Structure 1
Amino acid sequence: MADSHHVHLCRYSDEEGYTCEQECNDSGWCYWHDSNIIKDSPADKENLQEYARNGGMLRGISLKHADLAGIDLVNHHHKNGFDFSHADFYRADLTCAHLFNINLEYASLMKADLSEANLHNANIKHCNLLGIKWQNAKIKNIEIGNELIQEILAQKAQDDYDLVLALDLFEQSEEIYRDLRKHAEREGIFKLSGRFIQKELTMRRYQMKKPSFARLMSKVVDLFCGYGEEPLKVVNFSIVLILFCAILYFFTGINFEGQQHYFDASLPFTTNLNHFFSCMYYSVVTFTTLGYGDITPIGISRLIAATEAFTGSFTIALFVVVFVKKMTR
């Protein structure tokens, strides 16, 4: 009777149902998923390229300390790039690597060397980006998502009242965004660098004591102008303030040509509407500190006018600074 040979497959599987159908070694893992094997031999680079092009399971593979300098991992003539989700590239040498359109979601690039690498259109959502060497890496159109994996874990740690861990993770997030911001500036991708500086300063705010004056002021600056990156926030705030003050004037009253203009339920709708437009006009004049003098505040309206004038002069100056900063980049 002929002996039957039972092939043991790699035990890799993930939460999305993907499994590896490569034959395993004594550890129960295939060569590429075995984290105890360092892929730094001269043949590993060529073998990985061949493995990827032959449809091998790339998700979750272990490439820690791997020597992959100059490797070509572009899925040529295909719309979607190779899927390296959950892969581990810890301290891997990826200098001059071709990684166009690669999927690195939930992977780890921690302390990897990506100098001169091509990461155009790469998906690095929830990827561990701590300590990466970005020198001259090409990052146009990368997808980074709204949150780093460290941010998600930090918020979870906060919910679990592990404040020490949360603080450390927010500090890591700040470092990652700072490195990305500096690299985006060097590459001339200023829109991306503007987004990164907002996230960098937000992570710094999360490390401040709560409550504290410094944290409050940081939040105010974010709300007013997005840390200097969103001039439209200043415009929106100005419109809201002008409208809000106009409503206050409408109920507290202003003096126009010897007559008081304010809301009076006994007056016709058209008269009240005309009074409101007068209040709106006065609010605009006060906010911009033009001060024509044709309308004057009365009673408590004087306090509202003084507050609006002070806030308006500050807001206009802020808008000029933010707008010039954006335009001169």
Structure 2
Amino acid sequence: MGEAPPGRCGFEMLAADVHSHEILDSDSLREAVESNRVAVCRRETVDGSERCRWHTDELGESGGEVLEVDHDRPLVLDGAELSGFEFRDEQSLGEARLRFADLSTADLSGVDLSGVDLSGADLLGADLSKANLDFADLSGADLPEANLSEANLSSANLSDVGLLGADLSEANLEFLDLSNKDLSNANLSRAFLPNTDLSEADLTGADLSEADLFDADLPEADLTGADLSEADLARADLSEVDLARADLSEVDLARADLSEADLSSADLSEADLARADLSEVDLARADLSEADLARADLSGALLRKVDLSGADLSYGDLSAVQAADAELRDATLERADLSKADIFDADLTGAALYGAILADIRLNANTKFGDHYTGENDTIERATWTLRQIEQLSRESALPERVTEAVVERKTRRRRHHWKEGNYLSWLRNAGFGLLTKYGESPGRVVGLSIGTILVSAGLFQHTGIRDTTSGGEVISFALQNTTAANLVGKSLYLSTVTFTILGYGDLQPVGRGQLVATVESFFGALLMALLVFVLGRRATR
């Protein structure tokens, strides 16, 4: 190590071939001194000081003073006292060395610091807004509460940098390694962070609104309380990240990896999650209304009480999801895989289910279906297919009432379609079948119609007359008033019953117009008994 001649500064600096990360403590510095790896400043001293103007602590604010830079030889200001120094806008420092310099509260806004060595520098509260720090070495620098808004930090070395509370809004942080960094409460709104490594970083309370995090690496980062509204997280790796209660509304998470992340109670409304990996993610009570989840992988995810109303889940993998009490009203689930899903108490009213895989689904009586494909442009084929699937699932889950509802709805849709298409004969056949048997689902309706037919026919027989062959062929009726009311009612009911059941013992016979009544009743009796056998047999085979 050389000594400074009289009248020269003599401030000891690390030699050019010593990297600042090598000087970890006083012992490291002593070794550097002993091995002649420390240089001295040979600048002229200022009046009243033993140091040059750059190494005295009496410099103060410069009022925009320009540092004279010889671009043939780097400016060396290691350890310089530049606290509060105001650099002139757009000034270039070439490849200057400012290692361990005191730049606290200095104004470096707009300054070209590309390639500058600022390792170990104190930049507490410094203004670096719009500064160009491309390829700058900031390792070990202290930057808490520094203003780095709109600064270019692309490819800068930020190892061991303190950024607590720093303002990085609109800054260019592309390709940086920010893993394990403490960025809590940092302002990163509209920051440019594609391909940046933020794994295990502390981002609690950070403002990442509208930030570009395309393909960023964020596994195990702490984003508790972070604002990610309208951020671009497409293709980002967010595996195992804690995003509980996070605001991710309208965020672009297309193709992002969110596997095993905690998104419970998070707001993901209208978010783009197309093709995202959400396997085994905790989404309990999350808001995913109107979100785009087309082709997303949600296999094994916890969706209890999640709001997916209006969400697009087409072609998605929802196999084995726990979706109890989930809100899926008006969601699109066409061709999605829902095999082995638990949808106890879930609401799928109006959901589009055409082509979905619904094997081994678990549902209960409180699982809501209905209003599927009711729009003017929806096809009868999609509605019919969906209702058949609901019918089958309900049958497998021993829910006979749900089976009946699905069958009736399917047949009713088909009947309306016949009318709309002008197939009136098919419409009439379906309408009659529905009226008589509720499309084969109501034996009670058949029995009721049968009893009604017997009673109506009995009333008509009382007025048309009944011949009693057991009493000499006497005709009795209300008009003739030749018998008691009780006797007439009893005989009319007996005649109507044996006529309906086509037994016809012959002891009582209809007369006059009563013969027409008996003919019609016999026809309906044969028809309704056949229908009753059909309905009972249908229910017995389920």
Residue 177 of structure 1 corresponds to 387
Q: Distance in 1 between matches of 2:382 and 2:541?
A: 30
Task: Specify which of 336, 355, 358 is matched with residue 112 of structure 1.
Answer: 336
Does structure 1 conserve the Cα–Cα contact (< 8 Å) formed by 2:351 and 2:372?
A: yes
Task: Specify which of 209, 225, 230 is matched with residue 442 of structure 2.
Answer: 230
Decide whether aligned partners of structure 1 residues 229 and 55 sit closer, same or farther in structure 2, where only a CA change above 3 A counts.
Answer: closer
Question: How far is the alpha carbon of 1:216 from its aligned partner?
Answer: 0.8
% identity of equivalent residues: 27
Amino acid paired to 2:258: A
1:326 aligns with 2:528: no
Question: How far is the alpha carbon of 1:70 from its aligned partner?
Answer: 0.5
1:148 aligns with 2:371: yes
Question: How far is the alpha carbon of 1:48 from its aligned partner?
Answer: 3.2
1:64 aligns with 2:274: no
Residue 303 of structure 2 corresponds to 73
Structure 2 residues without counterparts, runs of 5 or longer: 1-146, 148-166, 168-186, 190-206, 211-226, 233-245, 267-281
Specify the SS of the correspondent of 1:48: coil
Q: Distance in 2 between matches of 1:32 and 1:294?
A: 85
Aligned residue pairs: how many? 293
Specify the SS of the correspondent of 1:260: strand
Specify the SS of the correspondent of 2:484: helix
Residue 34 of structure 1 corresponds to 250
Decide whether aligned partners of structure 1 residues 36 and 114 sit closer, same or farther in structure 2, where only a CA change above 3 A counts.
Answer: same
Amino acid paired to 2:340: E
How do 1:1-329 residues align onto structure 2 when only pairs under 5 Å count? 24-25=229-230, 32-34=248-250, 37-38=253-254, 40-43=255-258, 46-49=261-264, 51=266, 56-74=286-304, 81-145=305-369, 147-151=370-374, 153=375, 157=376, 165=377, 168-187=378-397, 189-208=399-418, 209-210=421-422, 212-256=424-468, 257=471, 258-264=473-479, 267=481, 271-329=484-542
Does structure 1 conserve the Cα–Cα contact (< 8 Å) formed by 2:263 and 2:286?
A: no
Amino acid paired to 1:42: D
Describe the superposition over 1:52-106 as per-residue Cα deviations: whole angstroms up to 9, x where unpaired.
76865343333222211100122xxxxxx33333333222210111111222223
Larger Rg: 2
Question: How far is the alpha carbon of 1:50 from its aligned partner?
Answer: 6.1
Highest RCO, 1 vs 2 (Cα 8 Å, sep ≥ 6): 1
Amino acid paired to 1:148: D
Specify the SS of the correspondent of 2:379: helix
Does structure 1 conserve the Cα–Cα contact (< 8 Å) formed by 2:284 and 2:302?
A: no
Specify the SS of the correspondent of 1:150: coil
Q: Distance in 2 between matches of 1:33 and 1:102?
A: 19
Question: How far is the alpha carbon of 1:316 from its aligned partner?
Answer: 1.3
Q: Distance in 1 between matches of 2:362 and 2:300?
A: 14
Does structure 2 conserve the Cα–Cα contact (< 8 Å) formed by 1:171 and 1:204?
A: no
Does structure 2 conserve the Cα–Cα contact (< 8 Å) formed by 1:119 and 1:138?
A: yes
Q: Distance in 2 between matches of 1:69 and 1:26?
A: 25
Q: Distance in 2 between matches of 1:44 and 1:196?
A: 37
Does structure 1 conserve the Cα–Cα contact (< 8 Å) formed by 2:309 and 2:329?
A: yes
Decide whether aligned partners of structure 1 residues 298 and 211 sit closer, same or farther in structure 2, where only a CA change above 3 A counts.
Answer: farther
Specify the SS of the correspondent of 1:322: helix
Does structure 2 conserve the Cα–Cα contact (< 8 Å) formed by 1:287 and 1:313?
A: yes
Q: Distance in 2 between matches of 1:56 and 1:72?
A: 10
Task: Using structure 2 for the length normalisation, give the TM-score.
Answer: 0.48
Decide whether aligned partners of structure 1 residues 283 and 44 sit closer, same or farther in structure 2, where only a CA change above 3 A counts.
Answer: same
Does structure 2 conserve the Cα–Cα contact (< 8 Å) formed by 1:73 and 1:97?
A: yes
Does structure 2 conserve the Cα–Cα contact (< 8 Å) formed by 1:69 and 1:96?
A: yes
Describe the superposition over 1:99-149 as per-residue Cα deviations: whole angstroms up to 9, x where unpaired.
11222223222222101111122121222222211011212325335x424
Q: Of Structure 1 and Structure 2, which has the larger fraction of its residues in helix? A: 1
Q: Distance in 1 between matches of 2:506 and 2:363?
A: 56
Describe the superposition over 1:192-214 as per-residue Cα deviations: whole angstroms up to 9, x where unpaired.
33432332233222222445212
Superposition CA RMSD, Å? 3.5
Amino acid paired to 1:288: T
Does structure 2 conserve the Cα–Cα contact (< 8 Å) formed by 1:246 and 1:276?
A: yes
Does structure 2 conserve the Cα–Cα contact (< 8 Å) formed by 1:171 and 1:207?
A: no
Describe the superposition over 1:301-329 as per-residue Cα deviations: whole angstroms up to 9, x where unpaired.
11110121122122212212221221232
Does structure 2 conserve the Cα–Cα contact (< 8 Å) formed by 1:35 and 1:64?
A: no
Mean CA deviation greater in 192-201 or 227-236 = 192-201
Q: Distance in 1 between matches of 2:460 and 2:341?
A: 58
